Amino acid sequence: MIVIETERLQIRTLDESDAPRMAEYRNKREVKQYQSWRHYSVRDAKKLIRMINKYPFRGERYDMMQYAVDIKGGIMIGDLHITMTGKRSFMIGYTFDSLYWHHGYARESVAALIDYMVANYPIKKVLAYIMTYNEASRRLLLDLGFEKFDESKFLREESYQKFIEEDT
């Protein structure tokens, strides 16, 4: 089901038939180096999709959602993740196939998903966590108006937040 359309992309719910494509790009060395997994299999993707589709998203604390990002009329190029951290805040994550980096697709879809969440839920804050050496992810967050509010040199992690203005 298509949830959001942007100029170049569509953001939609996932089903199990997306698992091979998801595993294909999530298992690339340059993609997984910034993520929590060492290897990403079709089985991992199926498990995630099944889990997400099993529990309805109500916008309550700990609710999760995962979306596919497709080029309009074309291939799936990445996925977006949301975990509600409270009724008014959520954490966002994103993973894109390296073949489709450097076109602004991640910014376009992340910005659209934040707008969608703000329009449909009483969201006041968005959170994101990155590895310190993930320059591309940091640039994306800063471009979208996030600010760094915490870091751990030991864990090599940085925490970012974006407050939602009343009139957005």
Q: Give the binding site for ligand COA (CB under 6 A).
A: 31, 34-35, 94-96, 101-107, 130, 134, 136-137, 139-140
Smallest distance, ligand COA to C-beta of residue 14, A: 17
What's the sign of the alpha-carbon dihedral 84, 106, 1, 119? positive
| Closest C-alpha among 146, 24, 25 to residue 91 | 146
- Smaller CB separation from ligand COA, 16 or 135: 135
**Least gap, CB of 2 to ligand COA (angstroms):** 20
- CA separation, residue 63 to residues 4, 13, 15, 59, 103 (Å): 19, 15, 18, 6, 30
| C-beta closer to ligand COA: residue 2 or 136 | 136
Smallest distance from the beta carbon of 166 to ligand COA, in angstroms?
27
Distance of closest approach, residue 130 Cβ to ligand COA, in angstroms = 4
Nearest to ligand COA of 87, 127 (CB atom): 127
Contact indicator for 63, 51 with CB cutoff of 8 Å: no
**Beta carbon of residue 135, minimum distance to ligand COA (angstroms, whole number):** 8
Strands (E), the chain: 2-5, 9-13, 64-71, 76-86, 89-96, 125-131, 147-152, 157-163
